[in-house]
């Protein structure tokens, strides 16, 4: 694919200029950045005939592109970083790096939440993983269209390379990790269910729920049932590990208090 000739940057609003500094890139076409930050909920009501607002006005198409660009760049960087690992070891690394939580962390680091346009009913904040992840992918798509693969690759490298290299051992996928955690404590296997599915055909959003008897329930969001399931499993595992740490600390405090009384 031939790369478009980059035009000279045009004037951009002050708040977006600040975001460009966070991104480390100046857009020749600021409209791409604006669109990348426009959630579909910000486009208002359907038209008089019930038609949806034009898809090109929201960040969904850029998100669609950014998802593919991120996947390609991460896959290539994994091959370069771990030349001796088999596909079975690279796959969980890839899944973790392109997951919604990973994207949301990058979005939070770049302070995207304060710039995303949403409806009043759906405000973007640091806890809205789905909106932040979608916006982050849309930003990658916008970078690709504005500056080619070089611009997108530079952004991805700046925010993913350190995490990639820090994880020496291939991570277990969250679903497997949760199952092993439950089995190791004699608990029943996790049970999954579809909570909701929404969005257009080219950018669906699934919400999956997972329960483990004795641990409670957690939900996760993703563009496929597999990704939403992994997100839910990771959330419940974090929840379970937090409860375990709290319980361990409480037990330690009781033990120390008992020693104090007998001394």
Cα distance between residue 146 and residue 171, in whole Å: 34
Residues found in the chain: 263
**Total number of domains in the chain:** 2
Largest Cα–Cα separation, the chain: 81
Residues 82 and 142 in one domain: yes
- What global pTM score does this model have? 0.66
Residues 90 and 151 in one domain: yes
Residues 181 and 238 in one domain: yes
Cα distance between residue 61 and residue 65, in whole Å: 6
Residues 62 and 105 in one domain: yes
Residues 182 and 162 in one domain: no
Residues 46 and 152 in one domain: yes
Catalytic residue set: 67, 137
Residues 98 and 192 in one domain: no
Cα angle at 136 between 115 and 169, to 5 degrees? 140
Contact between residue 119 and residue 42 where contact means Cβ atoms under 8 Å apart: yes
* Kind and range of the H or E run holding 153: helix 129-166
Residues 120 and 194 in one domain: no
Chain centre distance of CA 80: 23
Residues 70 and 140 in one domain: yes
Residues 28 and 118 in one domain: yes
* Kind and range of the H or E run holding 251: helix 225-262
Residues 25 and 155 in one domain: yes
Contact between residue 218 and residue 236 where contact means Cβ atoms under 8 Å apart: yes
Identify the domain containing residue 101 by its residue range: 14-166
Residues 79 and 194 in one domain: no
Rg (the chain; Cα; Å): 22
Chain centre distance of CA 111: 14
Structural domain includes residue 45: yes
Output the domain CATH number for residue 122: 1.10.1520.10
Per-residue pLDDT in tens (0 to 9) along the chain, 263 residues: 444 545 544 455 557 889 999 999 999 999 999 999 998 887 764 444 444 444 458 899 999 999 999 999 999 999 999 999 998 888 888 988 998 888 999 999 999 998 998 876 555 555 578 889 999 999 999 999 999 999 999 999 999 998 898 877 777 788 888 999 999 889 999 999 999 998 777 678 899 999 999 888 999 888 788 888 988 998 899 888 887 777 777 766 777 666 656 55
What tokens appear for 225 in the block?
A: 């049932």
């Amino acid at each position: 694919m031939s790369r478009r000739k980059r035009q000279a940057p045009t004037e951009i609003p002050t708040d977006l200029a600040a975001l460009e500094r966070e991104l480390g890139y100046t857009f020749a076409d600021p409209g791409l950045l604006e669109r990348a930050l426009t959630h579909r909920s910000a486009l208002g009501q359907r038209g008089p005939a019930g038609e949806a607002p034009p898809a090109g006005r929201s960040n969904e198409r850029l998100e669609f592109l950014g998802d593919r660009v991120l996947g390609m760049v991460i896959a290539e960087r994994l091959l370069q970083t771990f030349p001796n690992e088999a596909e079975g070891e690279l796959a969980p690394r890839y899944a973790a790096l392109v997951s919604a939580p990973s994207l949301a962390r990058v979005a939070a680091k770049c302070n995207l939440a304060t710039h995303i346009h949403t409806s009043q009913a759906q405000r973007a904040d640091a806890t809205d993983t789905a909106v932040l992840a979608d916006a982050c992918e849309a930003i990658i798509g916008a970078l690709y269209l504005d500056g080619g693969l070089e611009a997108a690759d530079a952004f991805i490298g700046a925010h993913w390379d350190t995490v990639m290299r820090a994880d020496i051992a291939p991570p277990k996928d969250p679903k497997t990790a949760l199952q092993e955690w439950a089995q190791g404590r004699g608990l029943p296997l996790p049970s999954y269910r579809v909570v909701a599915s929404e969005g257009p055909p080219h950018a669906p959003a699934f919400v999956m729920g997972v329960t483990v008897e004795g641990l409670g329930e957690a939900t996760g969001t993703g563009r496929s049932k597999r990704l939403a399931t992994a997100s839910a499993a990771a959330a419940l595992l974090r929840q379970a590990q937090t409860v375990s740490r709290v319980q361990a600390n409480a037990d330690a405090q009781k033990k120390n208090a008992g020693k104090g009384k007998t001394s």
